Structure formats: structure tokens, C-alpha cells
Amino acid sequence: MADSSPRGGLLASLRGLAVTGLALLQTRLELLAVEIQEEKTRSVSLAAYSVATVILLGAGAIFLAAFITVLLWDSNRLLALGILSALFLGGGLVCLSIVRRLATTPSGLFAGSLAELAKDRAAADAGGDANRQ
């Protein structure tokens, strides 16, 4: 009977360790799933608002250009068209540079998961160091 209790204690400890490890893994996977869902929602919203912005601002710019051109039709229509074209092209180049900068900037996806995994690793290393001493 004395022989089975250390083994039972060891098996129970290993079983507890496995259960704890699985619970930790499940928590991390749930966190990862939440971050993926948040990124998906953010991406869809960003795409929808971007399309709406392009359509509305594009239509507004065309109507503004037509209004100014018709307003200045008798005196300086070519000057008005040239200035408005330069403004639109300049604005487009500014927007292009912003899009390129945003596309090359990391989104921070999985930052929370990576931080939690780093904490887990540090805690495991600290626990291992305490057991070695």
C-alpha cells in the first residue's frame, strides 16, 4: 500500500499538470480567436467606410469642379479647370502616400496573445529557476 501512494501522487500531479496546461492552452486559443474576430470586424468596417468615403468624396469633388467651372465659364474656365485638376491630383498623391504608409505599418494583430505567451514563458522560467535552487 505504501508503494502505490507515491505513484498515485505522481500520477495525480502529472494529471493536474496536464489539465492545467490544457486549460492554459484553451485560454490562449480563446484569446487568439477573439483577436481574430476583432481584426475581422475592424477590417470589414474599414473597407466599407473606405468605399463609402471614396464614392461620396469623388462625387462631391466632381460636382464642385463642375460648379466652379460653370461659375467661371465666361472669364477663366481653363484656369479653373487647371487649378481644380492640380488640386485633385495633389490630393490623390497625398492619399496614395498615406495608404502606402498604412499598408507598411504593422497592425498589431495577435499582440495580446504574444504578450500573454511571453508572460507564461517568463513565469515558467521563473518557476523552473526556483525548482533548480
Q: What is the pLDDT of residues 69-99, one digit of tens each?
A: 888 888 988 888 888 888 888 888 898 888 8
The pLDDT score that the predictor gives to residue 85 is 86
- The H helix count followed by the E strand count for the chain is 3, 0
CA distance 22 to 45: 34
Cell of 36: 481574430
CA distance 105 to 101: 6
Residue with cell 490623390: 92
Q: Which sequence spans correspond to the domains of the chain?
A: 42-132
1 versus 46: the higher-pLDDT residue is 46
Q: What is the pTM of this model?
A: 0.50
pLDDT in tens, 100-127: 888 787 777 677 777 777 787 777 777 6
